Amino acid sequence: MTPTPKKPTNWGRTSKTVSFWILVILIPVAFLSYNGGRETQAPEIDYTAYRQQLDAGNILGVIFQPENVVAGQFRQPVRVNNREARKFLVRLPQGLTPAETDRLQNRGVRISSQEARFSGISFLITILPYVLLIGFWVFLFRQMQSGGNKAFSFGKSKAKLLSGDTPKITFADVAGADEAKVELQEIIEFLKDPQKFTKLGGRLPKGALLVGPPGTGKTLLAKAVAGEAGRPFFSMSGSDFVEMFVGVGASRVRDLFEQGKAHAPCIIFIDEIDAVGRHRGSGMGGGHDEREQTLNQLLVEMDGFESNDGVILIAATNRPDVLDPALLRPGRFDRQIVVDLPDLRGREGILKVHLRNKPQSDDVSVTSLARGTPGMAGADLANLVNEGALLAARKNHDKIYMSDLEEAKDRVMLGAERKSLVMKDDERRLTAFHEAGHAVCAMMVKGNDPLHKVTIVPRGRALGIAFTLPEDDRVSVTREQLEARLVMAYGGRAAEEIVFGHNRVTTGAASDIQQATGIARRYVTQWGLSDTIGPILVGDNEQELFLGREMQSRREVSEQTAQLVDAEVKRVVMEAHARAVAVLTENRPLLDIVAAQLLDRETLTRDDIILLKDGKPLGPRPLPDGLPFTPTPTAIVPPSPRPIIPPLLGGPEIAPA
């Protein structure tokens, strides 16, 4: 039988606490004893003053002590060293001679002597301050060395070794990254049975780099590897290497791999490796800085003169573009495992993982929820399920219903509702027409994603939202879809101009204009969709500069080309705006009825707008208490014939009715 492990005691922590309080108590006691002893000790006088007081008959008695010291007492107090004293100490130059004894007897002084003996208390009082000072420094050093401080062991690695009592995460807890799981499973097989692969001439991989956007589960995959491998697993963050002291990072890298070799075969995981593995030469202060020394040591440890067999390094980053090429070459990171955003099947698996231990209603459709969350990472889906559970608890539900998850989805994707914000009637009517303009353009222009929901309930920083969702996962976007997206973006501004006139156009379209201008500029400069500019890249990269690399290689754009790009971006934007005005002018009755229903219901779905477009009445609206409500009859506007709107740059046509 395996012996039951003993529970760790708190003796070490208790002893430190007791030692601390002993020091706190003894230091003041020693200080007071030392100073108090000095204050009560008899003052020492010189031999001349002693003879004067003796000749004056002011000495009552004396005690002869070793080393020719005489302790005496005055008959009347004498001022010595600016204070009154009744006792004194004097050192006789020639010791106790017969003449000195006769002189004392003639003056009527009582004479006695004291034998030399060792006084332990006096000795302790004398040396106690020094003992306490030395003990305090020893205690301080031990405190600095213990626990997580390690103030005098800067070069020691901060890697944490996962112990057996750590809750294990396995591959069953990870979904949506099947290809990455296969790659990592092979590394685990290497650790468990190396002979299976080495007998055919294969070698153990040195490292695996997990690359992907934030929230896709890179760290979770590393935890699953730790749970599946059954081997020692060291985890460390990239920011733990470099600190304020020179040489600390390189020393910690050496210590980390020494610990790894002592526990080989093992796995070392470094999260956010871009903190230490950035491209060398990117610093403004030259190439010999502390971070580069750490990177150099990491390169040597991974594949240098000495081999580290049995030590596999797994790292994670969402910025592979800034990593040093020497770090990414085969022999160091043999595999780069892409952990991308999950597809439809992956989102279903992730939602099932997060819902499996939660009570849920029978109406919960994981497939429907996964279809409505394209582009969401694993962390977003986990947050969605958690928000659904919190909403269900807030409503006192005994389980999670589909309505809770749908409301949580809107909360995560669109923002929380700001029901406390009270708008004036004019602002509310203007917002309704603005969002109705987006919705009508989304419905009537071919190439747009299906409209999901339009609402004038303020969410986040927006006063209203018209939201579209793609039917399937999309890898690339066509020219038709981009131009339709531009038309929808300007639908709100166009509706304001048509209904209220140019003088009452508001600033509510600021985010729409920003989004449309960004799409139009990339349309012209990066995607090569402009016939005037052609399929060329204008400007290397408009992303954030990476100092030390892009500053030297960045190409300038000529003034003529820049003017041409600006003119082409403006043309694309203005044509999209003109097309939005034409679409809404043609469908003005639908725009009015959608805005009226938004003012009445505040939120409309795609099915509601399809009914309005077809001239059909809307169904009953549920009240907050769940009772059905039948609205007053609304005038049905029959669809009017629509002229053909010329496409933008050969782009989308108007969707047929």
Predicted confidence (pLDDT) per residue in 410-468, tens digit: 888 877 777 777 778 888 899 999 999 999 999 999 989 888 889 898 887 788 888 88
CA distances from 39 to 50, 542, 644 (A): 21, 79, 110
Low-confidence winner among 143-147, 308-312, 453-457 (lowest mean pLDDT): 143-147
- Collect all residues with Cβ–Cβ distance below 8 Å to 207 and sequence separation of at least 6: 302, 312, 313, 314, 315, 332, 333, 334, 335
- pLDDT classification of 524: cutoffs 50, 70, 90: very high
- pLDDT classification of 631: cutoffs 50, 70, 90: very low
Q: Residue 528 corresponds to which tokens in the numbers above?
A: 């090569």
Phi, psi for 456 (deg, rounded to 5): -110, 15
Whole-number pLDDT of residue 644: 30
- Alpha-carbon gap, residue 349 to 353, rounded angstroms: 6
Q: Which amino acid is at 517?
A: T
Q: Residue 199 corresponds to which tokens in the numbers above?
A: 């007998």
On the question of pLDDT at 527 being above 70, the answer is yes
Beta-carbon neighbour count of residue 122 at 10 Å?
A: 10
Beta-carbon neighbour count of residue 444 at 10 Å?
A: 24
Q: What is the mean pLDDT of residues 1-8?
A: 43
Q: Residue 191 corresponds to which tokens in the numbers above?
A: 């650790």
The CA R_g of the chain, rounded to the nearest whole Å, is: 42
- Alpha-carbon gap, residue 254 to 377, rounded angstroms: 36
Q: Residue 596 corresponds to which tokens in the numbers above?
A: 């009226």
- pLDDT classification of 632: cutoffs 50, 70, 90: very low
Cβ-contact 413, 467 below 8 angstroms: yes
Q: Highest mean pLDDT range out of 55-64, 158-167, 296-305, 570-579?
A: 570-579
- Alpha-carbon gap, residue 243 to 608, rounded angstroms: 59
Average pLDDT value over all residues in the chain: 78
Whole-number pLDDT of residue 147: 44
Selected catalytic residue, list 435, 480, 483, 568: 435
- pLDDT classification of 546: cutoffs 50, 70, 90: very low
End-to-end CA distance of the chain: 77
42-117: CATH class? alpha beta
Predicted confidence (pLDDT) per residue in 372-395, tens digit: 888 889 999 999 999 999 999 999
Which of 340, 376, 342, 379 has the alpha carbon at shortest distance from 212?
340
- Alpha-carbon gap, residue 44 to 71, rounded angstroms: 9
Q: What is the mean pLDDT of residues 168-173?
A: 82
User: Residue 462 carries which DSSP code?
Assistant: B
- pLDDT classification of 112: cutoffs 50, 70, 90: confident
How do 233-237 and 160-161 pair as beta strands?
Answer: antiparallel
User: Residue 68 carries which DSSP code?
Assistant: T
Q: Which fold has domain 160-338?
A: Rossmann fold (3.40.50)
Q: What is the mean pLDDT of residues 626-636?
A: 36
On the question of pLDDT at 486 being above 80, the answer is yes
Whole-number pLDDT of residue 69: 80
Please say if 435 is a catalytic residue.
yes
Beta-carbon neighbour count of residue 542 at 10 Å?
A: 12
H/E element, 179 = helix 178-192
Cβ-contact 636, 468 below 8 angstroms: no
Whole-number pLDDT of residue 547: 46
Residues shown for the chain? 657
Cβ-contact 90, 45 below 8 angstroms: yes
Cβ-contact 337, 208 below 8 angstroms: yes
* The residue to which tokens 């449309």 are assigned: 516
Comparing 560 with 239, the larger pLDDT belongs to: 560
Question: What whole-number percentage of the chain has pLDDT above 90?
Answer: 20
Which of 462, 415, 418, 454 has the alpha carbon at shortest distance from 437?
454
On the question of pLDDT at 400 being above 50, the answer is yes
Cβ-contact 353, 192 below 8 angstroms: no
Question: Quick one: three-class SS letters along 194-253?
Answer: CHHHHCCCCCCCCEEEEECCCCCCHHHHHHHHHHHHCCCEEEEEHHHCCCCCCCHHHHHH
Cβ-contact 71, 62 below 8 angstroms: yes
- Alpha-carbon gap, residue 544 to 550, rounded angstroms: 9
Predicted confidence (pLDDT) per residue in 188-246, tens digit: 888 777 778 778 887 777 889 999 999 888 888 888 888 887 778 888 888 877 765 66
- pLDDT classification of 564: cutoffs 50, 70, 90: very high
344-414: CATH class? mainly alpha
- Alpha-carbon gap, residue 303 to 328, rounded angstroms: 12
Per CATH, domain 425-650 is 1.20.58.760? yes
Beta-carbon neighbour count of residue 237 at 10 Å?
A: 16
